[in-house]
Amino acid sequence: MNLNLLNHLSVTPNDKQSVYKHKLIKHLFNMGAASVSGLCEVMDMSTPSVLKLLTVLIAEGWVEKKGFGISIGGRKPDLYRLKDKKILILCIDIELFSTKVAIIDNNYNFVSEVKTFLLPISKSRTDFFHILKAHLHEFLTSAGISNKQLIGCSVGMPGLIDAEKGENYSYFLSDGENISLTAAFEKILNLPVVIQNDVNGSSMAEFTHGMAKGKRNVLVLLMDWGVGLGIIMDGKLRQGNCGFSGELGHIPFIENGALCYCGKHGCLETIASGNALSEMAKDGILSGKNSMLNQLSKEELERIEPAVIIKAANKGDQYAIQLLSNVGTYMGKGISMLIQLFNPELIILSGKIAEAKQYITLPMQQAINMYCMTQIREKTTIVSSDLGENSRLLGYTAAGIDQFLEAYARKVKKPKK
């Protein structure tokens, strides 16, 4: 990877102090504001050594004092954190029918507006990359940000993603050059790039900023156009052998059900995803169901957004309520299996369909009561995410900056103790 990190961190490879400065910066990014004692523990260094590093980084404009920590007795300890806008990252959230971009800093401040392009995910790369490049050039120009100011780019998307190999085996299949998807992104962006699954982005956001923060055993259920599962076990995000864990949406639920795009019949995604909800709503309206959704135009009916159905339900539309209830029931059955497999303390519902709140959670809970063992389900709390529609971008920021810092650490010689 052609990292811009040397310029960003003002350090010199193979220099002992530079390596420790980098290590401290990485810890402050991952920990947030921290006390000297906390940094001593994670860095395995003495108090004078940590204070010396902090003094240097404060003088260089990287670190600042910010508030006080908790004290058991005596004076509250000073907290140190990275200054705003010291590290900037470009985040790209590629959805089924649109693409969202933003620039975010090391303290998770949105440095730019969140821009959404009507750029759907693609099976091939060429056309998508051509359009994306033009959009990003316009976006960065309007934001007044150049590539030299960015540490890199973190890209999230649906599909079977092997982040280590830099490949998506569901989308953006190679249609020319024999290079990985990560390398293809790096070529058009002229930036180092990491790619990840959208579910892991949602999970990381919950782990760093949401209801999973400070918890050890949590499942994050992404109910968007598709269905995915993020697994946090023993305080770590678990991605499986190749990064393919959590493919809940492609477990068959219905015997002889509809054909799923994965090639199997009756997958959970065919009955409980945003895509399935949209198709069921459209089929019902075309068959004469009585609903305010009948007011939609032919173009709007072709792909009904889940938000439109939720809005109708909130206005008392019985057909919309029934559609969401069906989704909740199917998801409840799936969640019952998850509870018995993982015994989580918390399940967080996120994504477009999670915005339906009680219209899915009530039938979901009824299904859980029916299919799940009482002793296990009573130990699990189910909540809806409160991070908002841009939460995945926070997850991409956390994973992206951490990976870029780690990549740099591998490039510098570790000092001898």
* Residue 9: per-residue pLDDT: 52
CATH topology of 5-83 equal to that of 88-201+392-402?
no
Share of the chain above pLDDT 70, in %: 94
* CA gap 323, 328 in Å, rounded: 9
Tens digits of residue pLDDT in 62-102: 999 988 877 666 678 889 999 999 999 999 999 999 999 99
Which architecture characterizes domain 88-201+392-402 according to CATH? Answer: 2-Layer Sandwich (3.30)
- 223 — pLDDT class (breaks 50, 70, 90): very high
Q: What is the pLDDT of residue 7?
A: 54
Measured between alpha carbons, how far is residue 114 from residues 109, 135, 277, 383, 391 in Å? Answer: 12, 13, 27, 26, 11
Select from 402, 47, 69, 84 the least CA-distant residue to 55.
Answer: 47
Banded model confidence at residue 216, pLDDT cuts 50, 70, 90: very high
Is 143's pLDDT higher than 70?
Answer: yes
Tokens (6 digits) for 289: 């169901």
Is the CATH number of domain 211-386 2.40.30.10?
no
**Mean pLDDT score of the chain:** 90
Residue 3 has pLDDT above 50, yes or no: no
CATH number for 5-83: choose from 3.40.50.1820, 1.10.10.10, 3.40.50.300, 1.10.3210.10: 1.10.10.10
Distance, in Å, from the CA atom of 149 to the CA atom of 323, rounded to the nearest integer, reads 47
Reported as a single tens digit per residue, the pLDDT across 356-372 is 999 999 999 999 999 99
Read off the pLDDT of residues 373-416 as tens digits, 9 standing for 90 and up.
Answer: 999 999 999 999 999 889 999 999 999 999 999 887 777 655 45
Q: Is the model's pLDDT at 173 over the cut of 90? A: no
Q: Which pLDDT tens digit goes with each residue over 174-188?
A: 777 789 999 999 999
For position 1, what pLDDT does the model report?
A: 34
Mean pLDDT across the stretch 144-167?
Answer: 93
| Selected residue with higher pLDDT from 220 and 302 | 220
Domain parsing of the chain, residue ranges: 5-83, 88-201+392-402, 211-386
pLDDT at 2: 36
- What are the tens digits of pLDDT across the range 104-139? 999 999 999 999 999 999 988 988 999 999 999 999
pLDDT computed for residue 73 by the predictor: 65
Lowest mean pLDDT among 30-44, 57-71, 194-208, 271-285: 57-71
pLDDT digit string, tens, across residues 11-69: 454 567 788 888 899 999 999 999 999 999 999 999 999 999 999 999 999 999 988 87
pTM of structure: 0.90
Question: pLDDT at position 12, please?
Answer: 52
Give percent above pLDDT 90 in the chain: 74
